[in-house]
Amino acid sequence: MKRQILMRFMTIITVTVLLVIGILSFVTYNYYYVTATDVLKRHANASAVLFANSGLAYDFQDSEATIHDVLDSYAYTDAEIEVLDAKGIPRYSSTGFVSKRNMTKQEVTRLLSGGTITKRYDDPTTGEHLLEVTEPIVSFGQTTGALRYTTSLAKIDQRVIEICLAILLLGVVIWGLAYIYSSRLVSSIVRPIQEVIGASDQIAKQHYDVKVNEEYTFELGELARTINYMGQQIKQQETLKDEFISGISHELRTPLTSIKGWSETLLAEPERLPEEASLGMGIIHSETERLISLVEQLLDFSKLETSRLVLYRQEVNLTEVIETVTAQLRQKLEEKNIRIIRKLPAQVVGLYDENRLKQVFLNLLDNAIRFSPVDGEITIRLVRSERVLFLSFSDEGPGIPKNHLRHVTEKFYQVQKGKGGTGLGLAICRELVEAHEGKLFIDNQPEGGAIATILLPVTKA
């Protein structure tokens, strides 16, 4: 953003400086050349009037000495004077050298009508830049000849170049100073905005202790104070939420444990219960199991939110953990007649938190069972490279709609709303895997069904 703003500032400044340099150079150019031309024209005009009154402009038969004496009185600094006849042919010169630069028919026509001819050109032989003013000699209303003044513009050219270079140098200095000032100005504007953006990004990532400098002036200061206040309020609300979840989870756990214990006790002797009571106790037991699972998820979520989750790493054989998880869910597998295809090495050992990884595997396998069709297959594949472990659970179910795929590991997100659950299962799995410095990916298979892939770093015992 800083670069874009600075480029726009400097574009405007550059165009302005170039315009000023162009205008000043144009004014300088015109001033020197137009002034030189006007001065020479006035001198030529006055000289032509005096020359006409001298009586020398009728037959051009006077001696060259006489003509030279007269021309000396009409001299102009560093200029050559030539006397031309009515046909535009040079007759005399103040230098004694008569040039062969005859006038064209158009120029002669103009002279005869009383017009002054002015032109600047480069001498083809010397390359010198020259100014030439030809003034008609009019006597008794008739043009009898002309005076042609030719002077070098070398000094004026040099002066104009020096001034233009000075203007250009001044423009470069002004541009440089403007760049430095604009860079600092843009930094003073962009820096607080970037700080606010950074703080907002950190707050979005649940880092609520980030503070923005409130010493900025005007609207930026107000924005900074608003961002800080917002962070404090969100932190306060998050703290209240976490405390509530943690408290209510602990409060629910005790009565649920008691209910579960008594239901198991009564179900242990079904012959002592009437048939309906036995059915009811079975429902109470299963629902209690579900509520305990929900409470455990809420507790885990609370720990993850408040960064109170601690991993207890020990030497673990992941193959054995997967076999244990499969055994725990055997009843669910048998109910739907689902076959497990294991592609596992005999032993994969590393330093991990066994209980937390077992929790992840149980959740992923349970999801695969839930969405698998009857008589389906679930494939568990474990591959180890030098640095990374690849573990995947793939099923033959309908898969996950594409618009839900990128959200399924977000907290409280549910693909099928109103079907029970908290939407925390996969979110907790992702957090637990990332706590092991790993990654969890949920995707669909090309041939159908969903696949959950875990990448874990190899941590040797």
Q: What is the mean pLDDT of each run of 10 residues along the chain (461 residues)?
A: 77 90 90 90 87 63 60 79 85 78 86 88 86 87 86 90 92 90 81 78 76 75 82 74 62 65 66 61 64 65 63 88 89 90 88 88 90 91 89 90 83 63 76 89 89 87 59
Q: Which residue has the tokens 């002669």?
A: 108
Q: What is residue 1's predicted lDDT score, i.e. its pLDDT?
A: 64
Range list for CATH 1.10.287 in the chain: 241-305
Q: What is the dihedral of CA 194, 195, 196, 199, to 10 degrees?
A: 120
Angle at 332 between CA 330 and CA 337, to 5 degrees: 85
**Nearest 5°: phi and psi at 189?**
-90, -45
Spacing of C-alpha 351 from chain mean position: 43
Instruction: Evaluate whether 362 touches 325 at the Cβ level (below 8 Å).
Output: yes
Q: What is residue 194's predicted lDDT score, i.e. its pLDDT?
A: 77
Looking at domain 2-159, its CATH class is alpha beta
Q: What is residue 293's predicted lDDT score, i.e. its pLDDT?
A: 63
Residue 313 host element (H or E): none
Residue in 15, 27, 25 with CA at minimum distance from that of residue 175: 15
Q: What is the pTM of this model?
A: 0.47
Q: What is residue 270's predicted lDDT score, i.e. its pLDDT?
A: 62
3-state helix, strand, coil in the chain (%, to 5): 55, 20, 25
Neighbours of 310 (CB within 10 A): 9
Token pair in block for residue 296: 């455990």
Q: Let me know if 460 is exposed, middle or buried by CB neighbors in 10 A (0-12, 13-18, 19+).
A: exposed
The rounded distance, in Å, linking the Cα atoms of 351 and 317 is 9
Fold category of 314-457 in CATH: Heat Shock Protein 90 (3.30.565)
Q: What is residue 258's predicted lDDT score, i.e. its pLDDT?
A: 65
Q: What is residue 377's predicted lDDT score, i.e. its pLDDT?
A: 92
Q: What is residue 438's predicted lDDT score, i.e. its pLDDT?
A: 92
**Beta partners for residue 390, in sequence order:** 383, 455
The rounded distance, in Å, linking the Cα atoms of 160 and 167 is 10
Fold category of 241-305 in CATH: Helix Hairpins (1.10.287)
Amino acid at 136: P
pLDDT in tens, 391-419: 999 999 888 888 888 888 877 677 765 45
Instruction: Evaluate whether 166 touches 4 at the Cβ level (below 8 Å).
Output: no
Q: What is the DSSP string of 418-429?
A: TSSS-S-HHHHH
Where residue 297 falls (left for φ over 0; alpha for ψ -120 to 50; beta otherwise) is alpha
Length of the chain: 461
Range list for CATH 3.30.565.10 in the chain: 314-457
How would you list the strands of the sheet with 339-343, edge to edge?
A: 339-343, 377-384, 388-394, 450-457, 439-444
Token pair in block for residue 68: 């030279």
Q: Let me know if 82 is exposed, middle or buried by CB neighbors in 10 A (0-12, 13-18, 19+).
A: buried
Range list for CATH 3.30.450.20 in the chain: 2-159
Instruction: Evaluate whether 119 touches 107 at the Cβ level (below 8 Å).
Output: no
Instruction: Evaluate whether 350 touches 311 at the Cβ level (below 8 Å).
Output: no
pLDDT in tens, 197-254: 787 787 777 777 778 777 777 777 788 888 888 887 877 777 766 665 665 666 566 6
Q: Which residues contact 299 (CB under 8 A, 6 or more apart)?
A: 246, 249, 250, 253
Q: What is the dihedral of CA 48, 134, 154, 29, to 10 degrees?
A: 100
